[in-house]
Amino acid sequence: MQLDINGLSPAAFLAQYWQKKPLVIRQGFKHFQDLVTPEELAGLAMDELVESRRVYQQAGQWHAEFGPFDSYETLGERDWTLIVQALNNWLPDAEALIQCFDFIPRWRFDDVMVSYATPGGGVGPHIDLYDVFICQGSGRRRWRVGDRGPHREFAAHPALLHTEAFEPIIDVELLPGDILYIPPGFPHDGITLEESLSFSVGYRTASAKDMVGALADHLAEHDLGAQQIEDPDRALSTRSGCVDDRDLTRLRTQLTAMLNDELVSEFSGRYLTQSKCALDLPDEPLEISSDEVLFWLDKQPLIRLGGLRCLYFDLTVAKGTVFIHGERYQLPVALAGLIPALCDMSQLDKATLAPWLTDAAALTQLTEWVNLGYWYFEELSEE
């Protein structure tokens, strides 16, 4: 699968459009094939581990329901949409779509959302807080996108936040293979013209509020940040009720001194690799031996589980630090070169892993991750 951004290089797209303005990308994917059929999508939405919802209108009122769903018979043939989040957690083929956008780092990646809609279906006019590439699969949808501005939002349903009517700066019909890029803050509304599927590749970051809250939990859990203010140079005070400028500086210094690069990378690595949706992990660790890992590597590559988040930082990778699924792993320094391969590549063949397969620590760690389900052999998964 290859991406063509209207002839723009990824660098040019980032410079001209990323987080700046929306863009219609005609035939971004030539001969695009749906990643799932409507029937397969309906089956996924019946699984309690899969995050799904249905949005529809009845008598002019908006409704939203959350899965799992056991039937679709009451919805009729018009005006409804089925949405499944994190398709990449359940469908290995979604990885090829994500890789087309890997000029944006994976720590910014959210998920691949798939939407099936009948004629007239949509979720209503709304504003997202994330960047999204809406890739049109089969069928046609009309999209209207407005400009950023002070748009009033309101709850059309307890689970649906809509925005008031807007003047479109883009009014376009997407055909299979077309892509619509929308940055945060631009109101948009998609209405299905015929039965269709679309695949949205989303990118987001957490708000400062969410990260500060999670950081406080991290500090408490690991008993960090317990240092108190010291002020042996304190001057005489004549205003007992005042926090003067020097004391305000002390308070700020106490907070900022704690947020050094090592703490921020340690916290962020754990935070950013947590999955918001369930992963297709085994209920109990598998019992694959290191010898079996070597045996299967002779036959096929190791595949990283869809939705698994693994990251490293320039600051600490040379020390052997890698973050996987919300945990920090400290590898021997001699294995530091393995970390970029783990995090940058979706598959690891024997040639790639060869420099480390004779290292007992490396093989033991790989085997642990295989037994946790983080990496897997395709043939084994089908047995």
Distance (Å, rounded) from C-alpha 255 to C-alpha 214?
Answer: 16
Is the separation of the CB atoms in 64 and 45 below 8 Å?
no
- pLDDT truncated to tens, each residue of the chain (383 aa)? 999 999 999 999 999 999 999 999 999 999 999 999 999 999 999 999 999 999 999 888 999 999 999 988 888 889 999 999 999 999 999 999 999 999 999 999 999 999 999 999 999 999 999 999 999 999 999 999 999 999 999 999 999 999 999 999 999 999 999 999 999 999 999 999 999 999 999 999 888 999 999 999 999 998 988 888 889 999 999 999 999 999 999 999 988 888 899 999 999 999 999 999 999 999 999 999 999 999 999 999 999 999 999 999 999 999 999 999 999 999 999 999 999 999 999 999 999 999 999 999 999 999 999 999 999 999 865 44
pLDDT at 86: 97
Tokens of 224: 């960090």
Tokens of 202: 């989303």
Assign 139 to helix, strand or coil: coil
Q: In this structure, which amino acid lies at residue 362? A: A
Distance (Å, rounded) from C-alpha 337 to C-alpha 353?
Answer: 10
Instruction: List domains and CATH numbers for the chain.
Output: 10-203 (2.60.120.650), 207-224+247-259 (no CATH), 290-381 (3.40.366.30)
Distance (Å, rounded) from C-alpha 328 to C-alpha 237?
Answer: 47
Sorted by sequence, the CB contacts under 8 Å of residue 372 that are 6+ apart come out as 281, 282, 285, 286
pLDDT at 383: 45
DSSP 271-293: HHT--SS-----SS-----HHHH
Tokens of 16: 């001209």
How is residue 13 annotated by DSSP?
H
Q: In this structure, which amino acid lies at residue 45? A: A
Angle of helix 290-297 relative to helix 360-372, nearest 10 degrees, comes to 90
Tokens of 372: 């946790």
pLDDT at 321: 98
Neighbours of 141 (CB within 10 A): 25
Q: pTM here? A: 0.92
Distance (Å, rounded) from C-alpha 272 to C-alpha 205?
Answer: 9
Burial class for 47, CB neighbours closer than 10 Å (0-12, 13-18, 19+) = middle
DSSP 362-375: HHHHHHHHHHHTSE
Sorted by sequence, the CB contacts under 8 Å of residue 18 that are 6+ apart come out as 104, 131, 183
The residue among 113, 83, 115 whose CA lies nearest residue 197 is 115
pLDDT at 225: 85
Give the CA diameter of the chain: 79
Element (H, E) at 132: strand 131-136
pLDDT at 258: 86
- List, in sequence order, every beta strand (DSSP E) within 98-206: 109-117, 131-136, 141-146, 153-157, 160-163, 168-174, 179-182, 188-192, 196-203
The residue among 153, 150, 147 whose CA lies nearest residue 167 is 147
pLDDT at 49: 95
